[in-house]
Amino acid sequence: MRSQPKSHRLQQLAIAQFVRELRAIMQLSQEKFADELGMTFATINRWENGRATLSPLALKQIDTLLNQLAQAPNVTLRERSQALRGKYFLAKEANA
């Protein structure tokens, strides 16, 4: 088995944590989250276990989902989803 570059492992860990946190905010199981995104349970499970990275299509779907959550009637859901976006996306954009 080949060793992954350190930066790739760190990126996968961030993806895993992000997906877990997003699911927790939405109070969804891996199965329900997969349905929400039009993905399979196995895909979500691989993301959360650091065995797969997000494809560009998956990133677009998650971005769309975060945009929808920003308009949610539940204030807590809106705030938590935007905080999550800031934690994982906006900080990276500022460093780019």
Q: Tens digit of pLDDT for each residue in 36-70?
A: 999 999 999 999 998 988 888 998 899 899 999 99
Domain 6-95, CATH class in plain words: mainly alpha
Q: What is the pTM of this model?
A: 0.80
Q: Which of 66, 72, 69, 70 is nearest to 54 (CA)?
A: 66
Distance CA 42, CA 40 (A): 5
Distance CA 79, CA 11 (A): 24
Helical H segments across the chain, by residue range: 6-26, 30-37, 41-48, 56-69, 75-85, 91-95
